[in-house]
Amino acid sequence: MQYVINKTILLAVLLFLLQACGPAVDEGQSLQQQVTSAIASASDLPADGLMVAVDGGVVRVSGSLECEDCGGMRTPGGEDTIQQTLGAVIRAVPGVERVEFELE
């Protein structure tokens, strides 16, 4: 029997496991800093054109998903795998309750 694993789900599970097994998150570090750090650490995400705002557990991400390493492709908000991966990375950060996108 052959199983097909969705890359986004696999990434989210791996990030969750890394956080669960890794060092504890600095309690003094804000949720915004944690989310920004998680995005910057993901090698397949275009972190340069993104802005992160946090209100409680709601993370709002705005900016552009233009990705030079993705062949210059641009992903409009609400479509394709770059936004799905971005959402999975953000949701893996403890304390994130919801993610909202305002992407170009």
Tell me, what CATH number does 61's domain have? 3.30.300
Work out the average pLDDT over 78-102: 84
Residue with tokens 């915004």: 32
Per the model's pLDDT, the better-predicted residue between 58 and 1 turns out to be 58
Whether 53 is covered by a domain: the verdict is yes
Find the helix packing angle between 7-21 and 80-91, rounded to 10°. 20
Task: Write the pLDDT tens digit of every residue in 26-35.
Answer: 444 699 999 9
pLDDT for residue 100 is more than 90: yes
Task: Write the pLDDT tens digit of every residue in 51-80.
Answer: 999 998 999 999 887 766 554 444 444 445
Whether 24 is covered by a domain: the verdict is no
Instruction: Tell me the sheet residues that pair with 61.
Output: 52, 101
Whether 2 is covered by a domain: the verdict is no
The residues, ordered by sequence, that sit 6+ positions from 66 with a Cβ below 8 Å of its Cβ are: 46, 49, 72, 73, 74
